[in-house]
Amino acid sequence: MAKGKIGGLGDYLREQRLASKLSLRQLADLAGVSNPYLSQIERGLRKPSADVLQQIAKALRISSEQLYVQAGILDPREGLEGTTETAILGDPRLTERQKQSLLDVYTSFLAMNAGEGTARPPETPTAEAPSTERE
């Protein structure tokens, strides 16, 4: 996960809020977060959870993935990358800690596979069945 993009997220949120012609208070009400908390996010003082980003995205009527990229939660790579991360982050049945754990494991598997030059794990040899013939 990229770090140090909290300020970038705040600037992006402010731009989206102003483009939607919403005051800070209006967006906070629509997103279900407090006005001071949203202000801290916009000023780069707080890093919101994926759930809060999802609420803000819904209130702004933009894709939550855009906010995840701005927050450094998702890589902006094109193609199929991001769909697994998006599914994990968007699953309401998981806690924030569980989501982060799954993302960490997934990322480590991708890195391991990239190092091996393969996209799938190597086949494991199966044990041979013992012979039923008598010698």
Task: Tell me the domain boundaries of the chain.
Answer: 6-116
Mean pLDDT of 33-42: 96
Tokens representing residue 16 in the block: 């989206």
Which amino acid would we find at residue 72? G
Helix boundaries (H) for the chain: 6-19, 24-31, 35-42, 50-60, 64-71, 83-90, 96-116
Mean pLDDT of 34-44: 95
What pLDDT, on a 0 to 100 scale, did the predictor assign at position 85?
Answer: 78
Instruction: Say which CATH superfamily domain 6-116 falls into.
Output: lambda repressor-like DNA-binding domains (1.10.260.40)
What pLDDT, on a 0 to 100 scale, did the predictor assign at position 33?
Answer: 96
Among positive and negative, which fits the CA dihedral 48, 54, 59, 64?
A: positive
Give the global pTM.
0.57
Q: What would the pLDDT profile of 97-124 be if each residue is shown by its tens digit?
A: 788 788 888 888 888 888 876 555 444 4
CA distance 113 to 120: 7
> Would you say 82 and 88 are in contact if contact means Cβ atoms under 8 Å apart?
no
> Would you say 56 and 31 are in contact if contact means Cβ atoms under 8 Å apart?
yes
State whether residue 63 is helix, strand or coil. coil
Average model confidence (pLDDT) across the chain: 78
